[in-house]
Amino acid sequence: MAAPAASAAARAVRNVVFVDGVRTPFGKAGPKGIYAETRADDLVVKVIRELLRRHPELPPERVDEVAIAATTQIGDQGLTIGRTAALLAGLPKSVPGYAIDRMCAGAMTAVTTSASGIAFGAYDVVIAGGVEHMGRHPMGEGVDPNPRIVADKIVDPTALVMGQTAENVHDRYPAITKQRCDEFAARSQEKYADAVKAGKIGPELVPVATKSATLGWGLATEDEPPRPGTTLEQLAALKTPFRPHGRVTAGNAAGLNDGATGCILAEEETAKELGLPVGMRLVGYSFVGVEPEVMGVGPVPATEKALQRAGLSIEDIGLFELNEAFAVQVLAFLDHFGIDQDDPRVNKWGGAIACGHPLASSGVRLMTQLSRQFAEHPEVRYGINSMCIGIGMGGTVIWENPHWNGGGN
């Protein structure tokens, strides 16, 4: 029997590039939030349309897949949202889509999964992103956890409450004090406010028309959660809702938020063929499991594994965009790798403590910001995005700067 013309073993892995990313302004979850009466899928539609509007060089029929993440896949975040949002956005009916869930790392996983398809040769161009409308769909809405998870002591009951897992991380690392977390949180707010004033944050935002039965029509053009001017004194006075005399507060953790993100990924030669910009090049990624009770430590082994597989070290990384689900979780990462919490490479424009963390959407926000920072820092070759993930996981993605000029990291 004749051998096939091209065996699977001979298939070459193709380069994957991040073309561009956009997001809606992030809102506060709840009846007074800017998106209280806006559908989650409409936020995704807005993001997809904006990506296509910004890149007329991309024929819609060249999009091979739409991968959209949501943690709570119910109601207007359900029904295979990647497919339905693609249809609502006006993409050709020949373009498929799917939904994905890895809790906070949903959009990150939408990127890595579809990027793997590009690398393998199944796709040339994809749109990936995520959405979370925590006002309409609180995390865990409608779920029915198997009672054996707790009854058989597979996890401690605190593993199911993210704020309690953050308190557990404090227990494990007593050097990470509440004061350090408050200092980090105040600095996040300050860096974010400075980035807005300097025009660093804003170009990636998609204005969203909003409606309210009492206020009428509006237009969301900026993030709702930030609290510029936040002081250490204000943070110190906040309650610790997850434990009496605890350390985790509403001020040193991300809030409950609504918002959507999206990006275009492409095979590098296809991007050149179509005239698409190249914001960054995918180097590698890793997801790992950790004890669910301390899910905040997940980024540490995820990063170690990603670096090891890429043949890199932490010293090779010139920019870090870390999700600030909780300050303690970021500080655990930085302490482990011997990085100062005020290191200028880390979250240059602030983070989720300031702008918000609509769960499954946040990964692409991190990527979009890293891509735009790469363009400003040609001396930096490698950067990472990393985040902790509910039920005890961590995820890290390593990117290469296409603008690298041969100097620095």
Q: How far apart are CA 260 and CA 107, in angstroms?
A: 9
Cβ(399)–Cβ(382) below 8 Å: yes
Could you confirm whether 181 is annotated as catalytic?
no
Could you confirm whether 263 is annotated as catalytic?
no
Q: How far apart are CA 185 and CA 221, in angstroms?
A: 24
Cβ(235)–Cβ(185) below 8 Å: yes
**Count of CB atoms situated within 10 Å of the CB of 202:** 14
How does 124-152 read in b/e, with b if 16+ C-beta sit within 10 Å?
A: bbbbbbbbbbbbbbebeeeeeeeeeeeee
CA atoms within 13 A on the CB side of 292: 14
- Which residue matches tokens 């298939």? 11
Cβ(98)–Cβ(112) below 8 Å: no
Distance of CA 175 to the CA centre of its chain: 27
Cβ(206)–Cβ(50) below 8 Å: yes
Beta strands at 27-28 and 257-267: parallel, antiparallel or unpaired: antiparallel
Q: How far apart are CA 359 and CA 106, in angstroms?
A: 8
Using N-to-C axis directions, what is the helix angle for 162-172 and 327-336, rounded to 10°?
40
- Which residue matches tokens 């603008």? 403
CA-angle at 390, arms to 144 and 288, nearest 5°: 120
The one catalytic residue among 133, 170, 357, 377: 357
Cβ(20)–Cβ(128) below 8 Å: no
Describe the chain by its helix, strand, coil percentages, rounded to 5.
35, 20, 40
- Paired residues of 280 in beta bridges: 18
Q: Where are the beta strands (DSSP E) in 134-187?
A: none
The structure tokens listed for 376 are 């400003």
The one catalytic residue among 181, 263, 355, 388: 388
Could you confirm whether 388 is annotated as catalytic?
yes
The one catalytic residue among 104, 181, 263, 355: 104
Enumerate the active-site residues: 104, 357, 388
